[in-house]
Amino acid sequence: MENNPPDNRPRIIPMMAYEDVAGALDWLAEAFGFRERLRFEEPDGWITHAEMEMGDGVIMLANPTPDYQSPRRHREACEPARTWSRVPYVIDGLLVYVDDVDKHFDRARDVGATILSEPKDQTYGDRNYRAEDLEGQRWMFAQHIREVPKEEW
C-alpha cells in the first residue's frame, strides 16, 4: 500500500499563485528563507508547478493562467480589495513558525518585504510579525516563546 500522503509531504500543503513564479521563488528564498525543492518548467520558461520548503513545511507555487492578478495588482484595480487591505492583518495568507522571529524579521525587512506589523509578544505565547511579499501575498511569521494556558489568553 502506498503512503498517503506520500513520503516527504505534509498532510496540508498551501498552493499559492504568482504572476512571476520564477521571481517569487528567488524572492521567497532570499527574504523568507524558503528553499526551492522542485520546479517544472515548459520549454518557453512558463513554470507550471514549483515547490519550496522550510523545515517540515511545504508550499506549492504556480501561475494558473496568464490572466491571474496578484493581490497587489488586484488591489490597484479593485476599491473593496484596497479597503480591506488597509488593515495589517493576514486575512488570506500563511502562518509560518521560524526559529528566531526577530532575525527573520530583519532579513525580510532588509530584502524589501512590506512590513505590516513589527515583532510583538502575543498573550497566547507566540512572538510574531506580519509582512507582504513582492506580489502582495500576506504572511505571518511566529516563534513560540512560552507556554500559556488557553484560559489566560
pLDDT for position 13: 93
Q: Look up residue 6 and give its DSSP letter.
A: P
> CB-side exposure of 57: number of CA atoms within 13 Å?
11
Banded pLDDT at 6 (limits 50, 70, 90): confident
Alpha carbons within 13 A on the beta-carbon side of 27: 18
Query: In this predicted model, what pLDDT tens digit does every residue of 66-103 receive, in sequence order?
Result: 899 999 999 999 999 889 888 888 878 999 999 999 99
Cβ–Cβ < 8 Å for 16, 59: yes
DSSP string, 61-116: EE---TT---HHHHHHH-HHHHHHTTS-S-SSEEEEE-S-HHHHHHHHHHHT-EEE
Domains of the chain plus CATH, in order, are 1-67 (3.30.720.120), 86-153 (3.30.720.110)
With contact defined as beta carbons under 8 Å apart, do 53 and 34 qualify?
Answer: yes
Q: What is the pLDDT of residues 117-126, one digit of tens each?
A: 999 999 999 9
Give the mean model confidence (pLDDT) for residues 37-46: 93
Radius of gyration of the chain (CA): 17
Model confidence, pTM: 0.91
Q: What nine digits make up the cell of 44? A: 518557453
- Of 56, 36, 18, 43, nearest to 132 (Cα)? 18
Q: Evaluate whether 136 touches 93 at the Cβ level (below 8 Å).
A: no
- Chain center to CA of 83: 21
